[in-house]
Amino acid sequence: MLDQIKSLFGLTTEENSEKPVLDKRLAAAALLVQVMAADGKIRPEEEQKLHAVLNEHYAVSKEEAKALEKAARQAQGEAIDLYQFTSVLKREMEMSERLGVVEDLWEMVYADGELHEFEDNIVWRVAELIGIQSRERMDLKQRVLARQD
């Protein structure tokens, strides 16, 4: 069962490496979890938004979303920086997909109705690392805010 979950979300190991190879869904989910936890409080509405984003944007069922969230929390908890996730996104995603990830991050930021400076900083750093310009990042932020009203 664990091997099936690992293979489903890219937690396989290369033959000559012991380090897991992440797929883009797991990398994106780990970043979503990072933003969700950045303010030190994970609220129910943030967890609901995480599940909604995973279901809608990453084509997973509810059961797969739960498994992906669990794997993402583990990967995020073991991470020492954002690069291990952002490098996967930059390598495996087209620009439109990367823009979607930044929009998803803003969705997570505003899931609890508040903007925390740590959350904002994570979105900024992720956007920079995956090649999203400041103007695009701010346009996506405004798009998400407009949907909040």
Please report the pLDDT score of residue 16 as a whole number.
45
Residues 6+ apart with CB under 8 A from 87: 129
Q: Cα separation of 115 and 70, whole Å?
A: 25
Question: Residue 75 has which token pair?
Answer: 């990967």
Please report the pLDDT score of residue 21 as a whole number.
59
Report helix, strand or coil for 21: strand
Please report the pLDDT score of residue 13 as a whole number.
45
Q: Are the C-beta atoms of residues 104 and 32 closer than 8 Å to each other?
A: yes
Please report the pLDDT score of residue 19 as a whole number.
47
Task: Write down all domains in the chain, each with its CATH number in brackets.
Answer: 2-12+21-148 (1.10.3680.10)
Helix, strand, coil abundance in the chain, percent, nearest 5: 70, 5, 25
In the chain, which residues have pLDDT < 70? Answer: 1-21, 149
- The length of the chain, given as a count of residues: 149
Please report the pLDDT score of residue 86 as a whole number.
97
